[in-house]
C-alpha cells in the first residue's frame, strides 16, 4: 500500500516506543519529598533488546541491541546463546533491518545525520563483510518488495535519476547488481509488484489531489487505469497486495463508505468483494498467508487493538497468543513455513515483551523485555477519554494521571501527536509515563484530521491547520477544566512535528489558554514549510495543497494560519527544539520564529541538534532534550525534576 502520510511529520511518540528503553540498572535520584523518579535514562535511553526478526528458515533470530550506546543488529541461533553483533554502526544506530530470503544476509538502512537519504547495506553472515549496495549521494532508497519465492532478488525504489520521484530497480542479492525495472514518468507515488516481483501496479497522483490505480498484465503490456479515488478517499484507500495468482488485488477502500474496508478487487471483472469492515473504525492491519496470500486476520484500532480472525486454522493460535501476557498483541514476524511466530505484547504501564510461539507445540516462550528496568517501577495506566467538540464531533483520546492522590486541579501537558494524519493509540508511551511520573496529567487527543476514525473525521481537518483542528485542542482543555481535572493556570501544550506546529499555534493564537509551550520540529510558516518539502514529496504536493493550502493561490490564508506572523501575541515561555538536517521541516521553520521571539524579548529557549533530522535518533540527544524539557516544565508547571543522571550519582 502507498504510504498514506508519505512520512509527513512522524509522530515522535511512536519513534520513542520503538527505540526507547533501558541500558542502565541503578537506583534513581530521590527529590521532591523522596519521590522515587523513573530516570530519564531508563525512559528515553536505548533498549536492552528490541525489534526481533526470525530468519526465513526458522533457525535463527536477529534483534537490535546497543554496543557503546549505539544500536546494532545481533544474530543468534534459536535455543542457543551464541549471540553475535553483525553490524558495526558507531554513530546513529540502526533502526530498520531485515533478513534476506535465503538467510545468508542481513540488510539494513542508514542515513547521515537524519537527512533520510537512506542507503541500503548488506551483511554477509558467513564472511562478516558489510557492503554499501546503493553508494549514491543525495539518493533515498525505499524497499519495495521481496519474498520467499524469489530469494535472490529484491525490488528497491530510488530517486537516483530524478530527485522528485522513485524508479524501481531489480537488486541481485548476491552480486549487488542493479537493473532498472520500472521508470517513473513523474506522477507515480507508489508501486506494487506481484508474487514474481514483476512491477504490475502503480498509484498515480493527480493534480486535483485524486489518485488512480494503474494495472498491467505483464511488464511489456500497457498500463490501464482500473480504479479511481477522489480526493476525499485518497488518504484512506490504496492497494496492499496482489493475490498469489495475480488476478486480483487486496485494497484498502473507502469508496461509498465512511470507514476504510478491506476488499478483494478482481482485475478481470472489475468486481469488488468485501472482506472486512467496521462501521466506526478503519481496518488497520492485515495478516496474509505466506503461501497462499489469502487474508487470515485483520485488526481494528479502537480504544485498544482488536483482531478479527478469518482463517479457522489460526483461531486456536490467536487464542493461545492472546493468553501469553496481558496487553495488546501483534504477530511481529513469521518464518517461511509459518510454524514459528514472534509475538510482541504492549501494555500501558510496562515494557514491551517479545515471545517465541511454536504453532506445532501450541505454546509460547518469553524471549525478552525491551526495557526490563521499567519493571522496577510502578507506572501509570493510560485511560481512554471522549468529549464533544464545539461543532458536535466526537473527539477520542487518552489520559494518563500521576500515580496516587486526587485527580483534581492538576497541571496538564496536552501532548499533541504529529502526522497529522495518524493517531494516538493505547499502550506504553515513554512521554506519557515521564510526564505522569513528574506530576503532570498527560492528555493525548485524536483531533479532527487524525486517521482511523473514518474519512469524514479525517477530512474534517482539511484546511483546518491552526483552525478547527486547534479548536479541538482548546475544547479538550476546556473539558479538562470543566471536569475539574486541570489547574487552569498550569496547562502546557507540547508536541513534535504537527504537534510542534500546534504548540506554536497555542502560544501565538490562544496565549491565554496555555501557560507554556514546547515545540519539537514544528513548522512556523506554512508557506515556507510547503515550499521546502523534500523533492520526493512532489507527488504528494497536490494533496498538501488540498489538505493545508496552496502557497501560490492562498498566501493570505496560509499566513493567517502561521504562528510566525502572530509572534507579537506570544506571552508565555517557550522551548523549541530542532534537528539541523531535518528534510521534512526545514530548520528555518524553527529559526525564523526564534529570531522574531528574540527580537521581541519573548521568553524562550532554543535547542538545535547539529546531527539530527526529524526527531532525535541518538540517545545522547534525546536525553539532552528531555533534560531541558523537564527543567522547563518544572519551572513553569511546578512538577518534579531529576537533578542528577544515574552515571553522575554513581561517580
Would you name the residues annotated as active-site residues? 497, 582, 614
Contact 448, 461 (CB under 8 A): yes
For the chain, how many residues are written? 651
CA pair distance 318, 359, nearest whole angstrom: 10
| Residue where the block lists cell 508474487 | 195
CA pair distance 550, 545, nearest whole angstrom: 5
Q: Is 23 helix (H, G, I), strand (E, B) or coil?
A: coil
3-state secondary structure 428-485: CCHHHHHHHHCCCEEEEEECCCCCCCCHHHHHCCCCCCCCHHHHHHHHHHHHHHHCCC
CB within 8 A of 252, min separation 6: which ones? 1, 236, 237, 238, 240, 260, 261, 262, 282, 283
Closest by CA position to 254, among listed 190, 211, 296, 202: 211
Chain centre to alpha carbon of residue 420:
11
Q: Is 381 helix (H, G, I), strand (E, B) or coil?
A: coil
CA pair distance 649, 44, nearest whole angstrom: 18
Q: Number of helices (H) and strands (E), helices first, in the chain?
A: 14, 37
CA pair distance 18, 352, nearest whole angstrom: 9
Asked if the peptide bond before residue 389 counts as cis, ω within 30 degrees of 0, the response is: no
Closest by CA position to 625, among listed 433, 491, 511, 494: 494
Q: Where are the beta strands (DSSP E) in 278-409?
A: 283-288, 295-301, 305-309, 328-334, 340-346, 353-358, 363-369, 382-388, 394-400
Contact 597, 570 (CB under 8 A): yes
CB within 8 A of 429, min separation 6: which ones? 13, 16, 17, 348, 382, 400, 442, 444
Q: Is 394 helix (H, G, I), strand (E, B) or coil?
A: strand
Q: How far, in Å, are 155, 157, 158, 647 from residue 166 at the CA level?
A: 12, 5, 5, 46
The two beta strands, 486-496 and 410-416, are parallel
Looking at the DSSP bridge assignments, the partners of residue 63 are 74
CB within 8 A of 216, min separation 6: which ones? 200, 222, 223, 224
CA pair distance 82, 74, nearest whole angstrom: 10
Q: Torsion over CA of 42, 46, 47 and 53, rounded to 10 degrees?
A: 160
CB within 8 A of 227, min separation 6: which ones? 212, 213, 251, 265
CB within 8 A of 310, min separation 6: which ones? 275, 276, 295, 296, 297, 298
Amino acid at each position: 500500500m502507498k504510504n498514506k502520510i508519505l512520512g509527513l511529520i512522524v509522530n515522535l511518540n511512536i519513534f520513542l516506543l520503538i527505540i526507547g528503553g533501558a541500558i542502565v540498572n541503578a537506583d534513581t535520584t530521590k527529590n521532591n519529598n523522596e519521590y522515587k523518579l523513573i530516570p530519564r535514562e531508563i525512559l528515553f535511553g536505548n533498549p536492552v533488546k528490541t525489534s526481533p526478526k526470525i530468519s526465513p528458515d526458522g533457525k535463527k533470530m536477529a534483534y537490535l541491541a546497543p554496543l557503546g550506546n549505539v544500536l546494532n543488529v545481533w544474530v543468534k541461533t534459536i535455543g542457543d546463546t551464541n549471540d553475535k553483533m553483525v553490524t558495526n554502526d558507531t554513530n546513529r544506530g540502526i533502526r530498520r533491518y531485515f533478513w534476506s530470503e535465503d538467510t545468508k544476509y542481513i540488510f539494513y538502512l542508514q542515513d547521515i545525520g537524519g537527512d533520510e537519504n537512506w542507503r541500503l547495506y548488506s551483511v554477509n553472515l558467513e564472511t562478516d563483510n558489510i557492503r554499501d549496495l546503493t553508494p549514491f549521494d543525495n539518493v533515498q532508497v525505499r524497499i519495495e518488495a521481496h519474498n520467499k519465492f524469489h530469494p535472490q532478488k529484491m525490488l528497491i525504489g530510488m530517486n537516483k535519476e530524478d530527485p522528485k520521484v522513485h524508479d524501481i530497480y531489480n537488486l541481485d542479492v548476491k552480486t549487488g547488481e542493479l537493473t532498472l525495472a520500472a521508470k517513473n514518468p513523474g506522477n507515480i507515488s507508489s508501486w506494487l509488484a506481484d508474487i514474481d516481483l514483476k512491477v504490475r501496479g502503480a498509484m498515480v497522483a493527480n493534480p486535483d489531489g485524486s489518485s488512480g490505480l494503474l494495472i498491467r498484465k505483464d511488464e511489456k503490456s500497457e498500463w490501464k487505469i482500473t480504479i479511481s479515488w477522489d480526493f476525499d478517499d485518497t488518504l484512506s484507500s490504496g492497494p496492499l497486495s496482489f493475490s498469489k495468482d495475480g488476478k486480483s488485488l487486496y485494497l484498502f477502500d473507502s469508496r461509498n463508505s465512511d470507514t476504510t474496508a478491506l476488499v478483494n478487487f478482481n482485475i478481470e471483472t472489475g468486481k469488488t468483494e468485501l472482506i472486512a469492515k467496521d462501521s466506526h473504525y478503519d481496518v488497520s492491519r492485515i495478516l496474509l498467508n505466506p503461501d497462499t496470500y489469502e487474508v487470515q486476520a485483520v485488526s481494528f484500532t479502537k480504544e485498544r487493538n482488536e483482531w478479527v480472525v478469518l482463517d479457522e486454522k489460526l483461531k486456536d493460535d490467536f487464542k493461545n497468543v492472546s493468553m501469553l501476557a496481558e496487553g495488546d498483541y501483534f504477530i511481529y514476524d513469521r518464518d517461511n513455513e509459518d510454524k514459528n511466530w514472534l509475538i510482541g505484547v504492549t501494555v500501558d504501564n510496562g515494557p514491551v515483551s517479545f515471545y517465541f510461539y511454536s504453532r506445532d507445540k501450541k505454546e509460547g516462550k518469553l524471549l525478552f523485555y525491551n526495557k526490563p528496568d521499567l519493571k522496577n517501577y510502578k507506572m501509570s495506566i493510560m485511560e481512554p477519554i471522549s468529549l464533544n467538540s464545539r461543532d458536535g464531533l466526537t473527539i477520542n483520546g487518552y489520559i494518563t494521571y500521576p500515580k496516587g492522590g486526587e485527580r483534581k486541579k492538576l497541571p496538564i501537558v496536552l501532548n499533541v501527536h504529529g502526522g497529522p494524519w495518524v493517531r494516538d493509540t493505547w499502550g506504553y508511551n515513554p512521554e506519557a509515563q515521564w510526564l505522569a511520573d513528574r506530576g503532570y496529567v498527560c492528555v493525548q487527543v485524536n483531533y479532527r484530521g487524525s486517521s482511523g476514525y473514518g474519512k469524514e473525521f479525517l477530512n474534517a481537518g482539511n484546511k483546518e491547520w491552526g483552525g478547527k483542528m486547534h479548536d479541538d485542542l482548546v475544547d479538550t482543555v476546556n473539558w479538562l477544566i470543566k471536569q475539574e481535572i486541570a489547574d487552569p493556570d498550569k496547562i502546557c501544550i507540547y508536541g513534535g512535528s504537527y504537534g510542534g506546529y500546534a504548540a506554536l499555534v497555542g502560544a501565538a493564537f490562544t496565549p491565554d489558554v496555555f501557560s507554556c509551550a514546547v515545540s519539537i520540529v514544528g513548522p512556523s510558516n506554512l508557506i515556507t514549510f510547503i515550499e521546502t518539502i523534500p523533492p520526493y514529496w512532489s507527488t504528494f504536493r497536490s494533496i498538501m495543497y488540498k489538505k493545508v493550502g496552496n502557497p501560490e493561490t492562498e498566501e493570505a490564508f496560509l499566513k493567517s494560519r502561521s504562528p510566525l506572523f502572530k509572534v507579537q501575541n506570544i506571552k508565555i515561555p517557550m522551548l523549541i527544539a530542532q534537528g539541523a538536517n531535518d528534510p521534512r521541516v526545514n530548520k528555518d521553520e524553527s529559526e525564523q520564529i526564534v529570531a522574531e521571539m528574540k527580537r521581541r524579548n519573548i521568553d524562550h529557549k532554543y535547542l538545535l541538534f547539529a546531527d539530527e533530522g526529524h526527531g532525535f535518533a541518538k540517545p545522547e540527544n534525546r536525553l539532552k532534550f528531555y533534560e531541558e524539557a523537564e527543567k522547563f516544565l518544572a519551572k513553569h508547571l511546578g512538577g518534579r525534576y531529576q537533578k542528577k543522571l544515574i552515571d553522575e550519582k554513581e561517580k
